Amino acid sequence: MTVERYLRLIAGAFVMLTVALGYWVSPYWFLFTAFVGLNLFQSAFSNWCPMMSILRKLGVREAGEPISSAQRASRA
């Protein structure tokens, strides 16, 4: 998977988790949901997101980046 796909996966998981926690545990969890939404909003304009930086440091490839031979071999 690419950085962009992981980012959407992680953001969606955080939103779903914090909505559930806000409903069943405490409404303060909705603040975290708002933080995720605000972060996605600002990243649309600045093209920078902390989670994308973390994923890049972990070695997740960018969209359009060629797949290495090691990654190709692990898929087979």
Query: Concatenated DSSP letters for the chain?
Result: --HHHHHHHHHHHHHHHHHHHHHHT-TTHHHHHHHHHHHHHHHHHH---HHHHHHHHTTPPPTTPPPPHHHHHHH-
Is residue 67 over pLDDT 70? no
How far is Cα of residue 54 from the mean position of the Cα atoms in its chain? 10
Q: pTM of this prediction? A: 0.78
At 5-57, the pLDDT tens digits run 999 999 999 999 999 999 999 999 999 999 999 999 999 999 899 999 999 99
Who wins on pLDDT, 38 or 75? 38
Backbone φ, ψ for residue 62 (5° rounding) = -80, 160
